[in-house]
Amino acid sequence: MKDYNFIQENPHYTKIWTLITSLMILLVILSISIFFSTFFWQLLNNIPYFTSLVAFLTENIKNLTLWGLFLAHLVGGIFFVPSPDEIVFYYGLIKGNNLILALFFSTLGYMLAQFANYYIGLKISPLIMHIVSKKKVYETRRYINKYGTLGIFLFNFLPFPGPLLTFALGIARYNFTRLFVITLLGKIAKYVTLILIFMLISV
């Protein structure tokens, strides 16, 4: 393992100040959002067809139609939203959705969420680099580049927090194409396995 002695670390007081400042800004943003949430919700309710759109989305997610599967995976695939996507997908099969279309809509929603996770991680990467050890980040990135392929696949095939891993790899600026190809393969392999189990049980 390389020592990365050429990397200049930020002083500890800089890391602490950056962390405190970031948390304060986040708290301010959250407070403002909560304060104005009621106002904006009432404003949106006055927009024509908004209530109908909300009812349509809610009904589809509740009944896990094809659009419901797409939306459930799109929202549940965000790294800070815990979602048992295996259960959601399997229940969608029980609801009578076409197997191939259920696979397509679920995977599409999940992958779009992973784009968002990676993008968010990528954008806050400079901030994280001011807080954590740069040497540790580069060491971790080197390790992932060498051994991470199987880990990414397993995180998306098994009931592990794959979205959180995508977010972390965005921070580490992991290879975009490799990440999404392996993520897609892992997710498809998981859902094809669930489809086969569903078909065996349904016989």
Mean pLDDT of 30-50: 65
Q: Is residue 78 part of a domain?
A: yes
Same domain, 140 and 42: no
Same domain, 59 and 144: yes
Same domain, 179 and 117: yes
Q: Is residue 6 part of a domain?
A: no
Q: Is residue 172 part of a domain?
A: yes
> Please, how many CA atoms are within 13 Å of residue 51, restricted to the half-sphere of its CB?
6
Q: Please, which residues have CB within 8 angstroms of residue 141's CB and are 6 or more apart in sequence?
A: 172, 173, 174
Output the pTM of the full model.
0.77
Instruction: Give pLDDT, residue 150.
Output: 87
Strands (E), 12-137: none
Mean pLDDT of 60-75: 92
Q: Is residue 178 part of a domain?
A: yes
Same domain, 161 and 146: yes
Mean pLDDT of 30-54: 66
Tell me the residue range of the domain where 24 lies: 12-47
Same domain, 91 and 175: yes
The angle formed by the CA atoms of residues 44, 50 and 51, to the nearest 5 degrees, is 100
**1-10, 45-54, 125-134, 175-184: the lowest-pLDDT one:** 1-10
Count of helices and strands (H, E) across the chain: 8, 0
Residue carrying the six token digits 């909560």? 34
Neighbours of 45 (CB within 10 A): 10
Q: Please, which residues have CB within 8 angstroms of residue 101's CB and are 6 or more apart in sequence?
A: 66
Measured CA to CA, the distance from residue 169 to residue 163 in angstroms comes to 10
Q: Is residue 163 part of a domain?
A: yes
Q: Is residue 4 part of a domain?
A: no
**pLDDT at position 67 over 70:** yes
Same domain, 31 and 91: no
Same domain, 21 and 113: no
**Mean pLDDT score of the chain:** 81
Mean pLDDT of 36-46: 63
Instruction: Give pLDDT, residue 85.
Output: 92
Same domain, 43 and 62: no
Same domain, 85 and 143: yes
Q: Is residue 3 part of a domain?
A: no
Same domain, 73 and 83: yes
Q: Is residue 183 part of a domain?
A: yes
Same domain, 22 and 59: no
Instruction: Give pLDDT, residue 148.
Output: 75
**pLDDT at position 13 over 80:** no
Instruction: Give pLDDT, residue 193.
Output: 96
Same domain, 90 and 163: yes
Place 168 in a pLDDT band, splitting at 50, 70 and 90.
confident
Place 1 in a pLDDT band, splitting at 50, 70 and 90.
very low
Counted domains in the chain:
2
Instruction: Give pLDDT, residue 8.
Output: 53
Q: Alpha helix (H) ranges present in the chain? A: 12-45, 50-63, 66-76, 85-94, 99-131, 134-157, 162-171, 176-202
Measured CA to CA, the distance from residue 76 to residue 111 in angstroms comes to 11
**pLDDT at position 31 over 60:** yes
State how far the alpha carbon of 78 is from the alpha carbons of 71, 101, 118, 166, 186, in Å.
11, 22, 10, 10, 17
